Amino acid sequence: MVKQKIADCLQQAVAKTQQEGTLAPGALPEIIIEHPQNPSHGDFASSLPLKLARTTRMPPLAVAEKIVEKISLPPEIDHTTIAPPGFINFTLRNEWLTEQVETILAAGDLYGNLVLGKGKNIQVEFVSVNPTGPLHVGHGRGAVLGSTLADVLSSTGYRVEREYYLNDTGNQIELFGHSLYVRYLQNFGKEADMPPDGYHGNYVIDLAKEIAEEHGDKFLNVPQKEALEAITELGFNKIINSVKEDLLLLNVKFDKWFSEKSLYKGEQYNKVMALLESGNYVTKKENAVWFASSLLGEDKDNVLVRSDGSPTYFASDIAYHYNKFIERKFDTVIDIWGADHQGHVPRMKAVMKALGQDPEQLKVIICQLVTLHRGKETLKISKRSGDIITLREVIDEVGADACRFSFLSYSAESQMDFDLELAKKQSADNPVYYVQYAHARIASILRLAQQRQIDYSQGDVSLLSTEPELTLIRHLIMLPEVIERVAANLEPHHLPYYAQALATVFHSFYKQCRVVSQDETLTKARLKLVRATQITLAKTLHLMGMTAPETM
C-alpha cells in the first residue's frame, strides 16, 4: 500500500542523510503515516521530523528539509510539502488516482482483500452464552463484533474458525433444569418450590408449557431423577435451537459448536490438570485445588476444584484453551467476552504461560454493556413479556442490518446507547439508512445506464479531473487501509465510520456531477467511477454482514 511505500522512502532518506552526516546518527523511531485532517495539506503526512528533532539537535522544520532533499518519491506521489511545526506532507498524482478506478473494477468483489495472515490459523470464539435462556441485546453486540472480525480476518489471508462454546454442564445447567422441572410440575397443578438461585423468567414458564404440550404428563410418572435429566435435556435443546435461530436472523453463523462436556469425556481436563501439576502450578489448601497464579504474576491464586470435588468454570476454561492451542494448534485465539468477564482476563493470560504458550497468542476483547432507548425513554424490560428484552424482539423491530450497523458503530470497550426509534428512521439522521441509500442510489444510476444501453466498459477514467470526482476516488482507495487497521487492531468499528464517510462523499459527488449527461465520453468515465463506488461500498457492507440494497 501507498502508506508503506512512503514509510520506506522516508526511512531510506533518513539513512542517506545520516550516512552523509547531514543528520546525526541514531535509532530511527517508528514511522507513522497518517491522513491530514485538512485535505489541502495533502493525502498523507508524517511527523518523523518532530520525533528526530531531539536526537539530531535541530529544529523540526530543518530536519524535514534535510529529509526532503534526499527523498526518492514512489510513482504514486506527485509532490511533498513541509508544514509547521515539522510535518512532511505527501500528495498523490491525479493520474495515479484515476487509474485506481480501473484497479477497483478489475478486482471486483475481491477489492480490499489483503495478504496479511498468510494462512495462519485463527479461532474467533464469541457469544458462548450459557444455554439457560434467550439471547439479549448485549449478546447480539458480541455476536456482530465476532462475526465481523472473522469475516475481515478471512479477507486478509487468515484461516478463520468461528466457534461457540456451549456451557452444557455444571451448576447453572443444573439450576436451569431444576427450575424448568418445577414449572413443568406447576403446569399440571403440582406444588413445587423454585430453587433459591433458580431461573424465574417468563421464558421458563413458556418452555415448561411447550414440554407439557409435546409430552403430556409423561414425566410425572417416572422417577424424579430421570424426569429431571430428561426435562433438562429437552429445555437445553430448545434454548440452543432458539439461539441458533436468533443468530441466523442476525446473519451470524458458526463453524463449530464446542461442548464443555467433551472436555471431560475427551480427557482434556485430566490432561491439563496433570500438565499443571507437573509444572508445580497446582496447590492444595482449604480442601480445594488451586492454580498458583501468583507464581506467574497474578495478585492471587485461583480455585480449580472446589472442596466438594467439582471443577470450577476456570478449570474448564483452562482445559478448553489447552484444546485450542495444544491439540488444535491455533496460532491465535480471539475470545470475545461480556463485561462481567473482565477479571477473568489476567488469570487466563497467566494460564497461557503455564501451558508453555505466548500470552500474546490469546487476544481477549471485552464487550461492554448496551442500553436500549426508544427516543428519550430508557428501556429495561419487555412490554411484550414483562421480562428481559430479547435480541429477537430488537431484530423484529428494527431489522438485522440496523442491529449490525448500530452494534458495530461503537468500539467494544465503549458502553453503547441503542436508539430503536433512530434505527428505524428513514432519513439522513439514521446512518444505516444513509449508507444503504447511497448504494441504492448507485444501483439506480447503473440501471438507468443499462436502460439507455450505455456501454461504459471503454470509458476513459483520465477524464475524471474535477475535485468531487478525485475526492471520491481518494475515499475509495482507503478501503484496503481500513481493512488492514481492523485486522491489525481487532477494531471493526472503523468499518461503519468508513461507510458513512464514503456515503457522504458519494452523495456530494452526485449533487455536483451529473453522471448520465449529453457528454457521452464523460458519462462513460463517470459510470466507471460510480460502479467502482458500488463495489467498494458493497464490500464494506458485506464485511459488516449487511445487505447492499438495490432499491429503497
Is 382 a residue whose pLDDT tops 70?
no
In our burial notation (b when 16+ CB lie closer than 10 A, e otherwise), range 195-217 reads eeebbebebbbebbeebbeeeee
Q: Are residues 432 and 539 in the same domain?
A: yes
The total of other beta-carbon atoms located within 10 Å of residue 267's CB is: 12
Would you state the pLDDT for residue 36?
94
Q: How many folded domains does the chain comprise?
A: 3
In our burial notation (b when 16+ CB lie closer than 10 A, e otherwise), range 162-193 reads bbbbbbbbbebbebbbbbbbbbbbbbeeeeee
In terms of DSSP bridges, do strands 33-34 and 44-46 run parallel, antiparallel, or are they unpaired? antiparallel
Q: Confirm whether 414 is domain-assigned.
A: no
- Taking a C-beta distance cutoff of 8 angstroms, is the pair 532, 470 a contact? no
What's the mean pLDDT in 59-74?
A: 96
CA torsion angle 459 465 471 476 (round to 10): 30
- How far is 126 from 136, CA to CA, in rounded Å? 14
pTM of the entire predicted model: 0.94
Q: Confirm whether 285 is domain-assigned.
A: no
pLDDT digit string, tens, across residues 343-368: 999 999 999 999 999 999 999 999 99
Single residue among 61, 92, 123 that ends a domain in this structure = 92
Q: Confirm whether 393 is domain-assigned.
A: no
> Residue 27 is part of which domain span?
2-92
Is 193 a residue whose pLDDT tops 60?
yes
Would you state the pLDDT for residue 299?
85
Q: Are residues 182 and 80 in the same domain?
A: no
Q: Confirm whether 209 is domain-assigned.
A: yes
Residues 6+ apart with CB under 8 A from 515: 445, 523, 526, 527, 530
Residues 6+ apart with CB under 8 A from 162: 124, 126, 146, 147, 150, 253, 254, 255, 256
Q: Which triple of cell numbers denotes residue 459?
A: 470509458
Would you state the pLDDT for residue 385?
57
SS3 156: coil
- How far is 441 from 438, CA to CA, in rounded Å? 5
Would you state the pLDDT for residue 386?
57
Q: Are residues 84 and 178 in the same domain?
A: no
Q: Are residues 435 and 535 in the same domain?
A: yes
Q: Confirm whether 317 is domain-assigned.
A: no
Residue corresponding to grid cell 430503536: 420
> In this structure, what DSSP letter does residue 379 have?
E
- How far is 431 from 416, CA to CA, in rounded Å? 16
Instruction: Specify whether the backbone of 287 is left (phi greater than 0), alpha (psi in -120 to 50) or beta.
Output: left
Confidence band for 297, pLDDT divided at 50, 70 and 90? confident
Residue 174's identity, in one-letter code, is: E
Is 229 a residue whose pLDDT tops 80?
yes
What's the mean pLDDT in 291-306?
A: 91
Give the mean pLDDT of the chain: 95
> For 46, phi and psi rounded to 5 degrees?
-130, 140
302-305 β-sheet, strand order: 282-285, 288-291, 302-305
Name which residue leads in pLDDT, 516 or 27: 516
Share of the chain residues as helix, strand and coil, in percent rounded to the nearest 5: 55, 15, 30
Single residue among 92, 115, 144 that ends a domain in this structure = 92
Single residue among 230, 249, 268 that ends a domain in this structure = 249
Would you state the pLDDT for residue 388?
83
Is 77 a residue whose pLDDT tops 60?
yes
Q: Confirm whether 240 is domain-assigned.
A: yes
- How far is 399 from 405, CA to CA, in rounded Å? 10
- How far is 275 from 137, CA to CA, in rounded Å? 39
pLDDT digit string, tens, across residues 41-57: 999 999 999 999 999 99
SS3 401: helix
Would you state the pLDDT for residue 359?
96
pLDDT digit string, tens, across residues 393-451: 999 999 999 999 999 999 999 999 999 999 999 999 999 999 999 999 999 999 999 99
Q: Confirm whether 26 is domain-assigned.
A: yes
Is 216 a residue whose pLDDT tops 60?
yes
Q: Confirm whether 292 is domain-assigned.
A: no
Confidence band for 535, pLDDT divided at 50, 70 and 90? very high
What's the mean pLDDT in 441-466?
A: 98
